[in-house]
Amino acid sequence: MLLLSGLLSVFLNLGHFPAAVLLGCMFAAILMSTRGAVLVIPKRYFALAQGVVGCLMARSLQPEVLNSVGHNWPIFVGVSLAVFSASVLLGWLFMRRGIFPGSTAVWGLAPGAAAAMVVMAESYGADVRLVAFMQYLRVALVTVIAAVIAHFCTSTGVLQPSVSPQWFAGSAINLAMTMALAIGVSTAAYRFAIPGGAMILPLIMAAAFQYYGWLVIDLPILLLTAAYAVIGWSIGLRFNGEILRHAWRSLPQVLMAIGTLIILSGLIAVGLWRLADYDLFTAYLASSPGGADSVAVIAATTTVDAGFVMSMQLSRFLFVLIFGPIVSKFVATKMR
């Protein structure tokens, strides 16, 4: 898998695809897992990688960006509510028409907090394996589609990342402080099983420390590459043969549901582009339905307003984390 990941990552990088390492590792893991390889990325390593990506997101949330969020909070609430509402409405329609068994579509299309949705779905009679397949396939498809759009939208020139990367640490002290925060907070979130905490808590704390001038976030390329690889492998290895065999008969319906959600999110992005002063691809990444860690990697390696994208993804993730289980439970039990 290491060899295949390296080859695919180099190939995608030569094609100027953003997030080449993440995509290459994800494709390699999917190929290996679906061919019968039994490989596992320990959850604590995935939590550490999410902690590093959380700090990456925080680095784009400079004081001026956070001040802008405070002044433009209706945009963030409106877009988060629109994406969430689209997923809930779509899930309800699929449930009412009997396209998926029980409340599977409601839980499977929730745009974020995938692990929490899978756990809760089992408690409410949904097909938990199909919910897991829908959640992780949505993350994979959103990542691939965003990377392909970024590739062709910027095909006239070489991609310039939002934050200039360095191969090694610019300052040993800054790197040590960044690593201490990323490792310490994400490990605590993992041990206490805080939903989404491995990425969100380091993000919030690093952004706060950066805002007050207590921390300069230092993330060299070697560290980011390792985090991208772990996240890519973790996503890809979830597509094992058992889940694929179970979901094969429902694959057309699953693709239709996810595709419709992505299209609706694209329409929301067009509305955001027309109403706010942001380019279309920035609006698309900001309103993409889920995969906050993957979208963060793409935003950090392309010419977009990374601060706005990170802020919007954080707002949507918190929105879904707080209201997602409550609303999905209500729809699944009271609106049949």
The CATH number of whichever domain residue 155 belongs to comes to 1.20.1530
pLDDT at 116: 60
pLDDT at 269: 92
pLDDT at 155: 45
Domain total of the chain: 1
pLDDT in tens, 92-107: 888 888 777 767 887 7
- CA-to-CA distance for 196 and 193, rounded, in angstroms? 9
pLDDT at 156: 40
Quote the pTM value.
Answer: 0.77
Residue 102 in contact with residue 212, Cβ under 8 Å?
Answer: no
Four-residue CA torsion sign, 270, 273, 274, 279:
negative
The stretches in the chain having pLDDT less than 70 are: 102, 112-125, 153-170, 335-336
pLDDT at 71: 78
> Containing domain of residue 21, as a range?
2-334
pLDDT in tens, 127-171: 777 887 888 788 888 888 888 887 776 544 434 444 445 555 567
Beta strands in 75-213 (DSSP E): none
3-state secondary structure of 208: helix
pLDDT at 9: 94
pLDDT at 266: 92
pLDDT at 136: 79
For residue 64, the one-letter residue type is E
- CA-to-CA distance for 292 and 57, rounded, in angstroms? 10
